[in-house]
C-alpha cells in the first residue's frame, strides 16, 4: 500500500493534513510521524515513531528550520523512505522550473517561470517565488514572502513572514547569502551577506 507520511506533528504538520487529504492520490493512506510526540494524537490521527516508516513510503517534512529538515530528511532516507515534493491544491506552479526533491508549496503559494529550486525548499502560505530565481537547499519561506524576479538565495537561508525581496536583474541578481535570516516584514533592497540577520525597511543588519 502506497503511503505518505508527514514528519513533524507541530503547527505546520497539522496545517498540512487537510491539503494532503484533498490531494491524496496516488497514495492510499496518510500517517503522522514525530519521534517526540509518538503515542499522542493530532486532529484525530495517531502520531507514530520513526519506526512506523517503511521502505518505499513517501514523506513530507513539516519543520521551519532548514537545518532541522536536513537532519529529519536523513532519518527518513536511512529507512528507505522517499522525499515527496508536495504542491497543495490551491498552489500555482509556472513553466520551465527545476524543483528539487522534498519541496513543499502550501496553499496559496506560487512559483513563476524558469526558477531553479533546491531540495527541501519550504514555501509557506501566500508566499511566492517569481521568475528566474535560484534557490538553494533547505531554504525556508515563512508566510507571505514576496520574492521578486532574479533573486538568488543560498542554502539554509530563512525568509521571515511578510518580507519583500526586491527585483534583481539578469546581470546583477539580488543575493541572500548562505544561512542568512531576513526578519519579519523586512524590505530587502541590497545583497545580504552569509550568516547575518537583517531587519527593517529598508533592511539593515541587526545590531546585537
CB-based contact 62:10 (threshold 8 Å):
yes
Q: What is the residue-wise DSSP string for 53-77?
A: --TT-EEEE--S-HHHHHHHHHHHH
The residue written with cell numbers 519550504 in the block is 122
Of these residues, 48, 75, 131, 152, which one is catalytic?
131
Radius of gyration of the chain (CA): 17
Nearest to 111 by CA among 101, 102, 120, 98: 98
> What 3-state DSSP class applies to 117?
strand
131 is catalytic: yes
Annotated catalytic residues are 131
Amino acid at each position: 500500500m502506497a503511503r505518505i507520511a508527514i514528519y513533524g506533528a507541530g503547527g505546520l504538520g497539522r496545517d498540512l493534513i487537510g491539503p494532503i487529504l484533498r490531494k491524496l492520490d496516488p497514495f492510499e493512506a496518510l500517517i503522522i510521524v514525530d519521534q517526540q510526540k509518538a503515542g499522542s494524537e493530532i486532529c484525530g490521527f495517531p502520531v507514530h515513531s520513526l519506526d512506523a516508516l517503511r521502505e518505499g513510503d513517501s514523506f513530507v517534512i513539516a519543520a521551519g528550520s532548514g537545518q532541522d529538515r536536513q537532519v529529519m530528511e536523513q532519518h527518513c532516507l536511512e529507512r528507505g523512505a522517499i522525499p515527496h515534493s508536495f504542491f497543495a491544491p490551491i498552489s500555482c506552479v509556472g513553466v520551465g522550473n527545476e524543483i528539487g526533491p522534498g519541496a513543499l508549496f502550501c496553499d496559496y503559494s506560487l512559483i513563476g517561470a524558469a526558477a531553479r529550486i533546491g531540495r527541501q525548499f519550504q514555501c509557506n502560505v501566500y508566499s511566492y517565488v517569481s521568475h528566474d530565481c535560484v534557490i538553494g537547499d533547505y531554504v525556508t519561506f515563512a508566510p507571505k514572502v514576496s520574492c521578486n524576479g532574479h533573486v538568488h538565495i543560498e542554502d539554509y537561508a530563512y525568509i521571515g513572514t511578510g518580507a519583500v525581496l526586491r527585483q534583481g536583474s539578469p546581470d546583477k541578481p539580488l543575493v541572500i547569502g548562505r544561512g542568512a535570516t531576513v526578519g519579519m516584514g523586512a524590505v530587502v533592497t541590497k545583497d545580504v551577506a552569509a550568516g547575518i540577520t537583517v531587519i527593517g525597511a529598508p533592511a539593515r543588519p541587526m545590531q546585537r
